[in-house]
């Protein structure tokens, strides 16, 4: 080797930690990025300005300078009374919106006294069987002053009806009710499994909800198109964007086919994404999703209202990344994920509690999760910037790479005849299972390090308090349900369910008769059963 001109020895390049660097979605990562890596990005066309099409840089021109994102804490457990106390606690601690978790029987349209509900009542969320439970859940909480998100899908129309009925009882004008029902049943077939009816009648329920809310509850977000559970099932960031936007397109197509004008319902569509660990990839994921949705709505569906082009989204930090080993380390994970969501431009955010891999969150853990958001908002300084990372070579390159990968998936779904046809073939399910398997194998080989799990382990993890559910709560819930059945007006109850049955067998909107049924004290399970008798139950396609 010849000596350099200055007489000093040439430095050898430093050895790299590993042979290949890639994001969680296996997008190749270079050591450094420069102008050549964003040569295909047209600043005016692809970035624009915050609050302007294609909204890559955010849906509001001032972002968090105008107001912070809504700080929600997902909560619900045991009975309505127990959950009501937690909601009041969170609001007193500075929370700005409620996010309701329902137990598995409620999600599946089974009453608390159904044989298959035994042992599940109030376990993963609050048990809601009737209007009486809903009254207790929101007792002392003025529905005209809070925004409420409800994570509910197959029975979403019924839980919306219960919320509307409680609002009516509180004297709140329906036009003043604000909130969201998830109502995204397509992702249930793909990733989560809390479906009841086959896809096509489920789509009817969703489009009927669009129509009802446009007329009666105009400030309500009628669907929260969810990538969260797709990611929790094992999808990567590219798949999360692709499958979520594909579901959104299917809902738009169904609503248009039902006779709705796109600009009459599209402004009330919202999205729900996962906040994962790979910091820069997650920021780019949110930006890519916004840009893609804007173009889809304007160019493919011909929406004219700019609000129809805007992808507004809620983020929840990634439950699947929480570890039972060294659970306090989860606070660091949640902080990274929450910061990525904020830098990615989220409209609302839920931060998971550090103890959720062990059980339901304790009050202390829920408070720390909320304080994490408050520290980011008030102490980190990032909320003072509008799209602080816009124009970063690495971020713009990743944004375009995620968009390209997601577009390839959308093309594949279109070739199969659309989302429902692909679901019926098991396509999305197989793709997610493949990525989940690849991730797990990488963890087992230590190609991916999970702190405290496959590296940096302890012989004995420090103990943390774990919340428990008193078994007596289930017995009390069943007893209250039996008492309700005994004192309601049998004739009104039967008449309301007959009206619902007639609507289901016809073509009329289903939401109004569901509202009538809940006011007649029909239960969530009875309403679901009435629709089961007409629509049947879905039997999934095997994916292996």
Instruction: Evaluate the omega torsion of the peptide bond into residue 382 and state whether it is cis, within 30 degrees of 0.
Output: no
Question: By the 8 A CB rule, do 27 and 394 touch?
Answer: no
Other C-beta atoms closer than 10 Å to the C-beta of 140 total 8
The more confident residue out of 214 and 409 is: 409
Question: Which strands, in side-by-side order, build the sheet including 223-226?
Answer: 220-221, 178-181, 147-151, 97-101, 70-75, 348-350, 313-317, 269-275, 223-226
DSSP state for residue 101 in the 8-state scheme? E
* Mean of pLDDT over the chain: 94
pLDDT the model gives residue 292: 98
The superfamily in CATH containing domain 41-410 is: Methylmalonyl-CoA mutase (3.20.20.240)
The domains of the chain are located at 41-410
Cβ partners under 8 Å of residue 150, min gap 6: 99, 100, 102, 156, 159, 160, 163, 179, 180, 181, 182
pLDDT tens digits, one per residue of 175-212: 999 999 999 999 999 999 999 999 989 999 999 999 99
The whole-angstrom separation of Cα 45 and Cα 52 is 11
pLDDT the model gives residue 14: 79
pLDDT tens digits, one per residue of 103-139: 999 999 999 999 999 999 999 899 999 999 999 999 9
pLDDT the model gives residue 1: 42
pLDDT > 90 fraction of the chain, expressed in percent and rounded: 85
The whole-angstrom separation of Cα 514 and Cα 511 is 5
Q: What is the pTM of this model?
A: 0.91
């Amino acid at each position: 080797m010849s000596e350099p001109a200055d007489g000093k020895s040439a430095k050898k390049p430093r050895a790299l930690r590993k042979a290949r660097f890639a994001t969680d979605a296996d997008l190749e990562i270079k050591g450094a990025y420069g102008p050549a890596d964003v040569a295909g990005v047209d600043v005016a066309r692809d970035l624009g300005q915050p609050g302007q099409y294609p909204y890559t840089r955010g849906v509001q021109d001032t972002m968090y300078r105008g107001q912070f994102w809504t700080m929600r804490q997902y909560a619900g457990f045991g009975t309505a009374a127990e959950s009501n106390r937690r909601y009041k606690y969170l609001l007193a601690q500075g929370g700005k919106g409620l996010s309701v978790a329902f137990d598995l029987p409620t999600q599946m349209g089974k009453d608390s006294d159904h044989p298959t509900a035994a042992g599940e009542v109030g376990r993963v969320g609050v048990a809601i069987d009737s209007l009486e439970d809903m009254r207790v859940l929101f007792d002392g909480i003025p529905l005209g002053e809070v925004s409420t998100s409800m994570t509910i899908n197959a029975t979403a129309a019924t839980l919306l009806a219960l919320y509307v009925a409680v609002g009516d009882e509180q004297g709140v004008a329906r036009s003043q009710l604000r909130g969201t029902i998830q109502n995204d049943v397509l992702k249930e077939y793909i990733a989560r499994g809390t479906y009841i009816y086959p896809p096509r009648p489920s789509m009817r329920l969703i489009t009927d909800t669009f129509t009802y809310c446009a007329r009666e509850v105009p400030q309500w977000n009628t669907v929260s198109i969810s990538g969260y559970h797709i990611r929790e099932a094992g999808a990567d960031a590219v798949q999360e964007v692709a499958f979520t936007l594909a579901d959104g397109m299917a809902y738009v197509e169904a609503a248009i086919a039902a006779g709705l004008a796109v600009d009459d319902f599209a402004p009330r569509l919202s999205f729900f994404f996962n906040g994962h660990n790979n910091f820069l990839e997650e920021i780019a994921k949110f930006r890519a999703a916004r840009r893609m949705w804007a173009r889809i709505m304007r160019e493919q569906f011909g929406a004219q209202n700019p609000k129809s082009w805007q992808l507004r989204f809620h983020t929840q930090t990634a439950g699947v990344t929480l570890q039972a080993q060294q659970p306090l380390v989860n606070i660091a994970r949640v902080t990274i994920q929450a910061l990525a969501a904020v830098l990615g431009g989220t409209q609302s955010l839920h931060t998971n509690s550090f103890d959720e891999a062990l059980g339901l969150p304790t009050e202390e853990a829920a408070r720390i999760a909320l304080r994490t958001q408050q520290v980011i908002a008030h102490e980190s300084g990032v909320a003072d910037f509008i799209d602080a990372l816009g124009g970063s070579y690495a971020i713009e390159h990743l944004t375009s790479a995620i968009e390209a990968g997601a577009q390839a998936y959308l093309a594949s779904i279109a070739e199969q005849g659309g989302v429902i046809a692909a679901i019926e073939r098991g396509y999305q399910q197989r793709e997610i299972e493949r990525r989940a398997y690849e991730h797990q194998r990488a963890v087992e080989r230590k190609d991916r390090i999970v702190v405290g799990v496959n590296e940096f382990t302890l012989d004995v993890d420090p103990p943390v308090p774990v919340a428990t559910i008193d078994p007596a709560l289930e017995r009390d819930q069943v007893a209250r349900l039996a008492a309700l059945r005994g004192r309601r007006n049998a004739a009104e109850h039967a008449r309301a369910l007959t009206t619902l049955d007639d609507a289901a067998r016809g073509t009329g909107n289903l939401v109004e008769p569901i509202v009538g049924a809940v006011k007649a004290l029909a239960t969530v399970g009875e309403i679901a059963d009435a629709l089961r008798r007409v629509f049947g139950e879905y039997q999934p396609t095997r994916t292996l």
